[in-house]
Amino acid sequence: MKVKRIYEGKAQLFIPDLDYYCKVGSAKYEPSYAPVFYNPEMAFGRSLSILVLRTYQKIFRKKLHICDALAGTGVRGIRYSLEVPGIQRTWLNDKNPLAVELIERNIRLNLLEHLSVISCLDANLMLLKNSYGDLRFDVIDIDPFGSPINFVESSIHAIKDGGLLCLTATDIPPLYGKYPDTCLRRYSSISYSTEFSHELAIRILVGAVARKAAQLDFSCNVLFSHYTRHYIRVYITLRRSVRRADESLKNLGYIVFCNNCNYRMIEKSSFHHVSLICPFCGTLLKPIGPLWCGPIFNKSFLKNMENVLLQYQPEEYSKIKRLLKFIGEEADGPPTFYVIDKLTKRLKVSSPKLKKVIEQLQALGFFASRTHFHPKGLRTNAPLKVLYDVVRSSL
């Protein structure tokens, strides 16, 4: 394999030579063309994961036994070992023998032999082999090609009580409603293309995890989640408790949506009482779900993340701070958001300043904020009629 040496965070890494593994006839590096996967565009997401793990470690004050189940070059697990305090051991696994060769090389390069275990197995097999007693993990990171859903059940078996499950999903078109059949097959959930589909993707994924967790007597608590360009990422703590699992299931439900007037309603737990006609414009409503209607951010965890970020000031400090600020604003808001241009299109007017609309809604006593999901997104609990009135009066 043709490799080159790079730095990412505190790690030095041998990665496939990005200039060599280009699509034929194109100068652009394509991660899937290399014999081992490495995507420089995911570096920001990895840095954010480090912040989440540092915060989790600080709050729970325990030694962390971490599993990077689909490790590729090992970049994630290696960065955890180097950049998160209190690591007991990091297990790096990949089923690709070439990846494992590179992981071994990178572990030596970073002098991490004493903290690392390496295996070349199917991730499910590896997780199930570690699914009892002290073999279990405090943190499991699932960063696959496409959907993480096939690794969720074995992860729940292999996680300690109160452990942190970190999932990346890049199968965006099914989750966003472009391929609803695929979404139904994969997540047993109906997706639909809306202006808030990025958020739906997170809710559908968490909903599927919560159902699987409940079957195994675990509850879910989402500490943090975000959408960044071509992927979503969720961080969920899992507690073993039948009572908590039952409580957790109460966060499942449906969102019913009107594609004509932007009306939407959250129907937690039960679906049977929902009128399928939009109360605002009379159009047939579209049910989306089942999905997670509960919180997808935890305000107190976010505050802790901000404090930890301030203390250790990583390279991407400003970018992370900006994202946390956005998410902090929207964290207490209701599920789903509006996109101002869609509202004004229906009103056949030009768009007012988002800031002005938010201030007016707040002045009326409603929750209103921006959202990190969309530059023109508006999260509010104001009824749709009030929202349309405020948009008109903000022009």
Ligand X SMILES: C[S@@+](CC[C@H](N)C(=O)[O-])C[C@H]1O[C@@H](n2cnc3c(N)ncnc32)[C@H](O)[C@@H]1O
Report whether 332 contacts 298 (CB < 8 A): no
Consecutive H or E run containing 197:
helix 197-215
CB nearer ligand X, residue 74 or residue 335: 74
Could you give the C-alpha distances from 93 to 67, 76, 99, 127, 164, in angstroms and in order? 8, 11, 9, 10, 18
User: Which residue from 76, 186, 244, 379 is in contact with ligand X, where contact means CB under 6 A?
Assistant: 76
CB nearer Zn ion, residue 126 or residue 378: 378
Report whether 235 contacts 166 (CB < 8 A): yes
Report whether 98 contacts 72 (CB < 8 A): no
DSSP state of 278: -
Q: Say whether residue 123 binds ligand X (CB under 6 A).
A: yes
Residue 268 Cβ, how far from ligand X at the closest point, in Å?
34
Q: Say whether residue 75 binds ligand X (CB under 6 A).
A: yes
User: Which residue from 143, 171, 199, 330 is in contact with ligand X, where contact means CB under 6 A?
Assistant: 143
**What distance in Å separates the CA atoms of residue 173 and residue 230, rounded to the nearest whole number?**
10
Interaction partner, residue 201 (Zn ion, ligand X, none; CB < 5-8 Å by kind)? none
Report whether 39 contacts 31 (CB < 8 A): yes
Task: Identify which range of 73-81, 222-230, 237-245, 274-282 contacts ligand X by CB under 6 A.
Answer: 73-81
User: Which residue from 3, 8, 52, 72 is in contact with ligand X, where contact means CB under 6 A?
Assistant: 72
- Sequence-distant (≥ 6) Cβ neighbours of residue 325 within 8 angstroms: none
Interaction partner, residue 96 (ligand X, Zn ion, none; CB < 5-8 Å by kind)? ligand X
Report whether 376 contacts 354 (CB < 8 A): yes
Could you give the C-alpha distances from 386 to 199, 282, 365, 390, 392, in angstroms and in order? 23, 18, 12, 6, 10
Site for Zn ion in 258-317 (CB under 5 A): 258, 260-261, 263, 278, 280-281, 283
Q: Say whether residue 3 binds ligand X (CB under 6 A).
A: no
Query: Residue 155 — φ and ψ, nearest 5°?
Result: -65, -40
Residue 194 Cβ, how far from Zn ion at the closest point, in Å?
13
DSSP state of 132: S
User: Which residue from 1, 44, 60, 144 is in contact with ligand X, where contact means CB under 6 A?
Assistant: 144
CB nearer ligand X, residue 225 or residue 394: 225
Question: Where along the sequence are the contacts to ligand X (CB under 6 A)?
Answer: 37-38, 42, 46, 70-73, 75-76, 94-96, 99, 122-123, 143-145
Residues within the interface to Zn ion (CB under 5 A): 258, 260-261, 263, 278, 280-281, 283
